[in-house]
């Protein structure tokens, strides 16, 4: 079971923006870690930390992605729909984390599968749509990439207790 990958990144998921792709790969890694924690029945503390990390990293990623779309002047209607999808995902993760922490309910494979399929579909459909729109508009992501890299580094700097704030394994 140790070598089995629950959610495998594929090049088909690439949006063509390196920084976004790297963040998406990290989200995939965190979901894989959550899956393995549940399968291996790791301690509640570890599961809670992974869920916390998933919520935190997801919020950071979504915030940076939304800044990119705002800076690029992305279609306001599409942007609002994109934001709603982001909020719904964070709410679902937060709800699962809360149930686990407060009510002592274990994280189910159903919720892990939901998170996997939601993220995969969101990247392949919604994120690809904005990536194509930005390319078609000739928007250069270079300045945003610098901003995003700096923001991620600042986040890392703010949490020195871990080698990488989102890596909990």
- Helix, strand or coil for residue 146? helix
Contact call for residues 58 and 89 (beta carbons, < 8 A): yes
Residue 100 lies in a domain: yes
Contact call for residues 13 and 120 (beta carbons, < 8 A): yes
Q: Between 109-121 and 76-102, two packed helices, what is the crossing angle to 10 degrees?
A: 160
Residue 2 lies in a domain: no
Residue 1 lies in a domain: no
User: What's the average pLDDT block by block, 10 residues per block, for the chain (169 residues)?
Assistant: 78 93 94 91 84 90 94 94 94 82 75 92 95 87 87 78 49
pTM: 0.86
Give pLDDT, residue 169.
Answer: 45
Give pLDDT, residue 163.
Answer: 47
Residue 144 lies in a domain: yes
Residue 164 lies in a domain: no
């Amino acid at each position: 079971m140790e070598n089995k990958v629950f959610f495998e990144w594929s090049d088909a998921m690439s949006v063509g923006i390196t920084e976004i792709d790297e963040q998406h790969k990290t989200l995939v890694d965190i979901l894989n870690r959550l899956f393995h924690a549940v399968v291996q029945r790791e301690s509640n503390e570890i599961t809670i930390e992974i869920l916390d990390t998933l919520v935190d990293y997801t919020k950071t990623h979504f915030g940076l992605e939304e800044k990119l779309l705002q800076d690029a002047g992305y279609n306001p209607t599409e942007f609002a729909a994109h934001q709603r999808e982001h909020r719904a995902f964070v709410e679902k993760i937060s709800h699962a984390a809360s149930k686990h922490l407060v009510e002592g309910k274990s994280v189910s494979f159903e919720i892990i599968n939901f998170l996997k399929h939601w993220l995969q579909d969101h990247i392949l459909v919604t994120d690809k749509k904005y990536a194509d729109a930005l390319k078609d508009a000739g928007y250069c992501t270079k300045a945003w990439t610098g901003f995003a890299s700096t923001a991620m580094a600042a986040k890392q700097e703010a949490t020195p207790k871990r080698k990488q704030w989102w890596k909990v394994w």
